[in-house]
A and B are shown apart, each in its own frame.
Chain A
Amino acid sequence: MSVETTFSAAFDVEAVRKDFPILERTVRNGRRLVYLDSGATSQRPRQTMDAEREYYERHNAAVHRGAHQLAEEATDLYESARERIGAFVGSPGNEIVFTKNSTESINLVAYSMSNAATSGAAAARFVVGPGDEVVVTEMEHHANLLPWQMLCQRTGATLKWFGLTDDGRLDLSDVDGVITERTKVVALVHQSNILGTVNPLEQITRRAHEVGALVVLDAAQSVPHMPVDVRDLGVDFLVFSGHKMLGPSGIGVLWGRHDLLDAMPPFLTGGSMIEVVRMEGSTFAPPPQRFEAGVPMTAQAIGLGAAVDYLSALGMSAVAEHERELTAYALEALQQRLRGVRIIGPTDTVARGGAVSFVVDGIHPHDVGQVLDDQGIAVRVGHHCAWPVVRRYGVPATTRATFYIYNDTSDVDALVAGVEHAQRFFGVA
């Protein structure tokens, strides 16, 4: 076993763990916390919390307002975080819009598109109406499905989707039939939060751009776990959430190509996002300010800046490699060391990230999760906000383990032992 547990990762997991105070606590009567739910939300290192605390203790003020020193410092910190978060995904700062989370980022695009019909000629390319089509996939998190369902409902457009194959991949056998001359938007997930699948983008983006459609990528599960460069992906918009990548909750990002953001009408309106305001009507600031109405989540943006500094110091290639090795170890352990466990999603690490969903014969996922919790192991159970996916694979729900920089093979071993315990407890093994 010692041979198998020796990883080549370029960082020291034990040292990383020391930065996360929460990993020192115990749960359920003194058990070590085995946190395998980073796909839902990651834990935060001291560095993130210190950045927020220092901001409140030393620099707190409303950004982009006021002539005083604190306002200047707060604005500098906020805008510096924007630049660093942009650089983290290969973007200049002026293409980074701060939102609450990925969900809000996607809604921002969808609502801006329905506002486009009444926003003049400059916004024409965002207009969606009857006869137009919006394309998603059956693999989407509800956050990248419902905003498009609702956009179609508001505008009379038609929703279409790519189905899934039995082995947990997108069915791309008829790309030209799904994405057509009528398609205005293609919205899809980069890495599935439930299957772990990493989707190939090239065929989809090429076809989408051939027909003049915009591509929106839900990168909530990829940006935290692998190197992502927005220029390499060839997409038009990309969204991610701070809380899944060591950052605070309440901060997310919409990245958009500048020419698109520049032409797109606003979603939320109010203070900070204006150019000139008169009683008769108003004009709007250039992006990204156009999309950041009101006093923004300043401490959270600064905290996310510290989080990307932390990840950058580890190196995202090293993070991805660490998770690939851990995922390989988990897939093998769940399939080889246990009986009656079925992986929902790709069963090897090819084009796959570290979200491992599984079902245990004869035990409902809720019960699996309960037994694991009793041993201090935190997993997620249910449909993972991707209800069509569990329906597609004919299961009521799954148990999902997700890995991050502070997990190691001892966590996977605990998971396997926990599932075995559940099988004994319910008398199915």
Chain B
Amino acid sequence: MQLESMYQEIILDHYRDPHGRGLREPYDGESHQVNPTCGDEVTLRVHLDGDVVQDVSYDGLGCSISQASQSVLHDLVVGKPVPQALAIGADFLTLLQSKGDPDVAESMEESLDDAVAFVGVGKYPARIKCALLGWMALKDALGQARIIESGGRDE
């Protein structure tokens, strides 16, 4: 039974009881991402206070992996400076691309905390995109927020 290697209890907990779900105001950047192979979608907003991510709010449709990943994202990124949030996102991508390598997971425990539980998803190529959907939205929303912010400063 390999199922548990993907659906670790931490993932199922986040799926059943997602953290920070729902779209909130105010926000500085918003992104809508769709997985065209399955139709899953997410809308994700970021609210910045200076360089710090003040809030991440999100809503959408998707499988347990995508929903749990967005919940974990919320926990990891809120309160962090933008460069650190992006670095966490890069680590998460590396974890998912490691084909389930436990050494990679171990080396990222500090950065990713609960999110290392997603290492097993990397063994299932069709599901990697599910786990990354929210993180793609985060990157896009942060990019938009900073464009808006710098635009604001120029005025």
Residue among A28, A367, A374 making CB contact with B63, cutoff 8 Å: A367
State whether A396 and B62 are in contact (beta carbons under 8 Å apart), knowing that A387-B39, A390-B39 are contacts in the complex. yes
Contacts of B7 in A (CB 8 A): 370, 425
Nearest residue (CB) in A for B40 is A396
Query: With the chains together, A387 CA to B124 CA distance in Å?
Result: 24
Q: Which of B6, B37, B64, B130 contacts A426 (CB 8 A)?
A: B64
Most buried by B among A387, A396, A427: A396
Q: Chain B residues with Cβ under 8 A from A396's Cβ? A: 38-40, 61-62
CB < 8 Å neighbour of B127 from A366, A371, A383, A427: A366
Our count of residue pairs bridging A and B at CB distance below 8 angstroms stands at 48
Give the distance in Å from the alpha carbon of A387 to the alpha carbon of B65 in the complex.
21
Which residues of chain B are near A157, meaning CB under 8 Å? none
Name the distance in Å between B42's Cβ and chain A's nearest Cβ: 12
CB-based contact A382/B2 at 8 Å? no
In the complex, which residues 46-74 of chain B have their Cβ closer than 8 Å to any Cβ of chain A?
A: 61-65
Chain B residues in 8 Å Cβ range of A374: 1-3
Q: Contact flags (1/0) for A358-396 with B, using CB distance below 8 Å?
A: 000000111100110010000001110001001000001
Distance, CA A259 to CA B66, complexed state (A): 53
A216: interface (CB < 8 Å): no
A367–B39 CB distance below 8 A: no
Q: Give the interface residue-count category, chain B.
A: 10 to 19
Q: In chain A, what residue has the closest Cβ to B64?
A: A367
Q: Which residues of A contact B64 (CB under 8 A)?
A: 364, 366-367, 426
- Complex CA gap A393/B101 in Å reads 40
Residue pair A366, B38 in contact (C-beta under 8 Å): yes
Given contacts A367-B63, A425-B7, A381 and B124 within 8 Å (CB-CB): no
A366, A382, A425 — which one has the most chain B CB atoms within 10 A of its CB?
A: A366
The 8 Å CB contact of A370, one of B3, B37, B39, B40, is B3
Interface footprint category on A: 10 to 19
A257–B3 alpha-carbon span in the complex (Å): 52
CB contacts (< 8 Å) of B16 on chain A: these are: 427
Nearest chain B residue, comparing its CB with the CB of A391: B39
A366, B39: Cα distance in complex, Å: 11
In the bound complex, what is the Cα–Cα distance between A397 and B35 (angstroms)? Answer: 12
CA distance A359 to B113 in the complex (A): 34
Contact of B38 among A371, A397, A426, A427 (CB under 8 A): A397
B39 touches A397 (CB 8 A): yes
Residues of B within 8 A of A364 (CB): 62-64
**CB-contacts of B1-49 with A (<8 A):** 1-3, 6-7, 12, 16, 37-40
The interface bits of chain A over 53-95 (1 if a CB of B lies within 8 angstroms of the residue's CB, else 0) are 0000000000000000000000000000000000000000000
Chain B nearest CB, measured from A390 CB (Å): 6
**In this complex, what residue of B is CB-closest to A387?**
B39
- Contact assessment for A370 and B6 in the assembled complex, using a CB-CB cutoff below 8 Å: yes
Question: Is residue A29 contacting chain B, with contact meaning CB distance below 8 A?
Answer: yes
Residues in B with CB closer than 8 Å to A365 are: 38, 63
- If A366-B130, A370-B127, A426-B64 touch, does A383 touch B38 (CB 8 Å cutoff)? yes
Pairwise interchain contact A382-B37, C-beta atoms closer than 8 A: yes
Q: Which A residues are CB-close (under 8 A) to B124?
A: 370
A363 to chain B: closest CB distance in Å? Answer: 8
Q: Do B65 and A366 touch across chains, with their CB atoms under 8 A apart?
A: yes
CB-nearest residue of chain A to B62: A364
Residues of A within 8 A of B63 (CB): 364-367
**Contact at A383–B39, with CB atoms within 8 Å?**
yes
In the bound assembly, the distance between CA atoms of A28 and B16 in angstroms comes to 27
The answer for the CA separation of A367 and B38 in the assembled complex, in Å, is 12
Chain A contacts for B1, CB-based, 8 A: 374
Closest to A363 in B: B64
* A382 and chain B: residue at smallest CB distance: B38
Minimum C-beta distance from A276 to chain B (A): 45
Chain B residues in 8 Å Cβ range of A370: 3, 6-7, 124, 127
Complex Cα gap A425–B11 (Å) = 13
Q: Which of B78-127 contact A (CB under 8 A)?
A: 124, 127
A381 to B, closest residue via Cβ: B38
CB contacts under 8 Å to B, within A151-166, are: none
> Which of A364, A365, A426 is packed against the most chain B CB atoms within 10 Å?
A364
Q: Which A residues are CB-close (under 8 A) to B40?
A: 366, 396-397
CB neighbours of B37 from chain A (8 A): 382
The distance in angstroms between the C-alpha atoms of A370 and B12, with both chains bound, is 14
Per-residue contact bits, chain A 396-429, to B (CB 8 Å; 1 contact, 0 not): 1100000000000000000000000000011100
Docked Cα-Cα span, A143 to B21, in Å, equals 36
Q: Which residues of B contact A28 (CB under 8 A)?
A: 2
CB A376 to nearest CB in B, in angstroms, measures 12
For residue A395, give the distance in angstroms from its CB to the closest CB of chain B: 9
Task: Return 8 A-B CB contacts under 8 Å, by A number.
Answer: A29-B2, A366-B40, A370-B6, A370-B7, A382-B38, A382-B39, A396-B40, A426-B64
Known: A366-B127, A426-B12. 18 other contacts (CB 8 A): A364-B62, A364-B63, A365-B63, A366-B64, A367-B63, A367-B64, A374-B2, A374-B3, A381-B38, A382-B38, A382-B39, A387-B39, A396-B39, A396-B61, A396-B62, A397-B39, A397-B40, A427-B16
Sort A-B residue pairs by CB-CB distance and give the 7 closest, nearest first: A366-B63, A364-B63, A382-B38, A396-B61, A383-B39, A374-B3, A367-B64
